[in-house]
Chains A and B, each alone.
Chain A
Amino acid sequence: MAYRWKNTLSAADVTPESAWLNRRQIIAGATGLGVGAIAGPAFAATEGLEPNSFEDITSYNNFYEFGTDKGDPKRYAGEMTTEPWAIEIGGMVDRPGTYDFKDIMSEMTVEERIYRFRCVEAWSMVIPWNGFELADLLNMAGVQDGAKYVAFETLYRPDEMRGQRFPTIDWPYVEGLRLDEAMHPLTIMATGIYGKPMPNQNGAPIRLVVPWKYGFKSIKSIVKITLTTEEPPTSWNRLQPREYGFYSNVNPNVDHPRWSQASERRIGGGLFAPRIPTLMFNGYEDEVASLYEGMDLKRFY
């Protein structure tokens, strides 16, 4: 079921050529002529849709398994072995078992998905992921009738993941989705960025990406997937249930108890980056709002 969703954030698709040219002129102008009068409104309007640089995406990470500093994952994630890698798929599936990463990849159609990525800490990026739909993987294992939730688990290997030697959270990291969220065409298992294999600090070799939810839902370095009938426990919810709900949909109208979620800062804007408004469901309202029809999103945060 690949290609069920078409990128709307591709720089080539949405950026008018004139804006690109404009930008070139600005850069040239800044070095040659001085910046003054050249900047135009077209440039400003499309700027936010350009993917972050590979450098941005791979050097500013929350991956507490390697430390709580944003730079720790880049510094220490190299200590994690990602070959061989397998995912244990179990619970309410027809074909439970340990699926080798290479075998999975040979079955899946990898496509590029350029998604907004919004962290619960009110920063964001635009990331060109490579991956396949989670639905395809779940169908490979055969989801049984009656399964309602999907539980995920990150690798637990304290000798290679130094952050796990300290009880920042209750290891291993676990996350979960409702089955309809998991089967949604936007939900992908990402295995790369910018056409390169997933860097360790971003959750190598395979991670979840759910673009309409806060980043912590998109669990990294997955070793286990379980189909269940009950809502599975999730790490941040277990730690601070009042602050992090099971759903954790991006929602500018429901603040985190300790900070506002109404706006965010796009990484890469430098020291004077403005805040930009946060979009409902991170800009994927048309695609996913129907999943939550009739639900009180203030209660199910």
Chain B
Amino acid sequence: MTLTDHINTTARRVPIWLVYIVCALPAPWFVYLGATGGLGVEPIQELEHRLGELALQFMVAGLAITPLRRHMGVNLLRFRRAIGLITFYYVLCHLLVWLFLDVQVWSRIWADIIKRPYITIGMLAFTLLIPLAVTSNNWSVRKLGAAWRQMHKLVYPAAVLGALHYIWLAKGFQLEPLLYMAAILVLLALRLPKRRVRAAS
């Protein structure tokens, strides 16, 4: 049996509910750490940052599923909805920490969304993900048919905006945000249809 077969066989045995629980646990764990001093002396920023990073990590994982199957034969399709919803869950947690622990004042929240480009971009990415999270159920898939597939391509711009949000808020030239953007762009590029070979003229 090849490695790919191994992965596919093991993946079939993992119950989806377990994926939801295990992947969702870091959020309450980080809140607990933050409240008990485990996130250092500035827990608000740290919590916000970690949740945002987890959102990007699950975003990358979700985008990797299709290329993994197409190019390597690894089939993790049955986890895709869970990973997508977990991504949304972390984006939402990140946003809630920003709203209630970080900025705190409603007038300033609105001013920040309008005036600060990286926050505008982050909010836009979040907004794009809302209809996707709402329609991540069998009923919506049946009801929407072909439109469902088209609509869920919104995750592509959302992913790019999410990475841009991270690049834009960093001070100076930092590597990590660029790595997320690179991973997302590569995963999107792998989806492009193979170009037809044109004769040189």
Cβ of B112: which chain A residues have Cβ within 8 Å of it? 259-260
Contact present for B168 and A258 (CB under 8 Å): yes
Cβ of B19: which chain A residues have Cβ within 8 Å of it? none
Contact present for A121 and B35 (CB under 8 Å): no
Chain A, 260-301, contact with B by CB distance < 8 Å: what is the 0/1 string?
101101011011111100000000000000000000000000
| B169 CB-CB contact with A under 8 Å | yes
A275 to B105, CA, bound (A): 9
A70 to B171, CA, bound (A): 12
Cβ of B43: which chain A residues have Cβ within 8 Å of it? 270-271
Contact present for B104 and A275 (CB under 8 Å): yes
Contact present for B174 and A60 (CB under 8 Å): no
| B26 CB-CB contact with A under 8 Å | no
| A169 CB-CB contact with B under 8 Å | yes
| B189 CB-CB contact with A under 8 Å | no
Contact present for B175 and A166 (CB under 8 Å): yes
Find the A residue at minimum CB distance from B37: A270
Cβ of A71: which chain B residues have Cβ within 8 Å of it? 40
| B17 CB-CB contact with A under 8 Å | no
| A239 CB-CB contact with B under 8 Å | yes
Complex interface residues of chain A between 107 and 127 (CB less than 8 A to chain B): 121, 123
| A99 CB-CB contact with B under 8 Å | no
Contact present for A55 and B41 (CB under 8 Å): yes
| B190 CB-CB contact with A under 8 Å | no
Q: A60-B41, A260-B111 are in contact. Are A168 and B174 (CB under 8 A)?
A: yes
Cβ of B40: which chain A residues have Cβ within 8 Å of it? 59-60, 70-71
Helix, strand, loop or mixed for chain A's interface? loop
Q: A258-B118, A259-B116, A271-B35 are in contact. Are A168 and B172 (CB under 8 A)?
A: yes
Contact present for B116 and A68 (CB under 8 Å): no
Contact present for B172 and A239 (CB under 8 Å): yes
Find the B residue at minimum CB distance from A168: B172
Cβ of B93: which chain A residues have Cβ within 8 Å of it? none
Contact present for B41 and A59 (CB under 8 Å): yes
Minimum distance in angstroms from A202 CB to a CB of chain B: 14
Q: A169-B172, A258-B117 are in contact. Are A274 and B104 (CB under 8 A)?
A: yes
Contact present for A270 and B175 (CB under 8 Å): no
The residue from A64, A258, A270 contacting B35, defined by CB atoms under 8 A apart: A270
| A167 CB-CB contact with B under 8 Å | yes
| A79 CB-CB contact with B under 8 Å | no
| A56 CB-CB contact with B under 8 Å | yes
Find the A residue at minimum CB distance from B103: A275
| B101 CB-CB contact with A under 8 Å | yes
Q: Hey, which bits of chain B sit against chain A, CB under 8 A? A: 31, 34-35, 37, 40-45, 47, 101, 103-105, 108, 111-112, 115-118, 168-175
Closest 5 CB pairs of A and B: A56-B41, A271-B34, A168-B172, A60-B41, A271-B43
